[in-house]
Structure 1
């Protein structure tokens, strides 16, 4: 079993800095005194454990927690930041791809989530551009979740090697 001293140390130092800045009421950081910052701290602790501690199973939760925390911090502060379901899938895809880079597995999941993220981020544009199909947009919007269910069911029911 891997030692989680690095994770614990980074998390406690991060929480210490967070609460110290909050108690001291350091004004440049006032917008960071919220729960998304705590997600970022825990996520960074996982990433330190994953990369520096060579505990590669910590990379995926680290990317997800850090990414979700950053998303919730930035969504109302940056006009260009997308507030879409596809953003979450993009963060998960990044986590799987980084995990694959170190552990050698998870690439198919990363690519699948990346494709789904792209589809969801550009969903309206894709639906609008499919003019050659004589099916209405509402029908396509209904068929999309069914497609996800079918693909997910295939992965759940197909035999594992």
Structure 2
């Protein structure tokens, strides 16, 4: 019974602190009175639920929400931080891999998202490294969404025997 109180308890403490600081108008926290902070608070509540209550399925939503919240804060302050779809996919991959560490499922999805994130984030470097194969890589790059659709349809509609 105690474990079921962790998530709502941290949500209420986090939101209460957020709104108290917002009403207090403390200048040093001014940049945190935004919706990404609320995302991070909910994500942290999921992570506390996962690790304190040993409800490890909460790791994935916790990492995703916390990661997205932090991402939206960091892109405003650090120009080296990539504002790219690959960053979101990397955060999702991290969530799957951390969940796999505790639950033992999701490794395939974690590695798949990790590879996709690396390809998206470093596409220019990969093409540069491949040099002569650039035309072939461009063809693959053009049709990779179709490959993803085919693999997804295979996983959904064809049973492993």
Q: Which has more helix, going by share of residues?
A: 2
- d(CA) in 1 for partners of 2:160 and 2:42? 33
Measured after TM superposition, the shift of residue 2 of structure 1 is 9.1
Measured after TM superposition, the shift of residue 108 of structure 1 is 1.2
Measured after TM superposition, the shift of residue 52 of structure 1 is 0.3
Task: Name the SS for the 1:79 alignment partner.
Answer: coil
Task: Name the SS for the 1:116 alignment partner.
Answer: helix
Instruction: Tell me the equivalent position of 1:151.
Output: 151
Measured after TM superposition, the shift of residue 34 of structure 1 is 0.2
TM-score by length of 1: 0.91
- Decide whether the 8 Å contact of 2:127 with 2:134 is kept in 1: no
Q: Using the TM superposition, name which of 12-21 and 122-131 deviates more.
A: 122-131
Task: Name the SS for the 1:130 alignment partner.
Answer: helix
Matches within 5 A, 1:87-106: 87-106=87-106
Measured after TM superposition, the shift of residue 142 of structure 1 is 1.7
C-alpha distance 152-83 of structure 1, shift in aligned 2 (>3 A): same
- d(CA) in 2 for partners of 1:31 and 1:57? 31
Aligned length, in residue pairs = 161
Instruction: Tell me the equivalent position of 2:76.
Output: 76
- Decide whether the 8 Å contact of 2:89 with 2:117 is kept in 1: yes
After superposition, the C-alpha distances for 1:56-87 in whole angstroms (9 at most, x for unaligned) are 11110000000000011111211121111110
After superposition, the C-alpha distances for 1:101-134 in whole angstroms (9 at most, x for unaligned) are 1111111111111111111110122233333336
TM-score by length of 2: 0.91
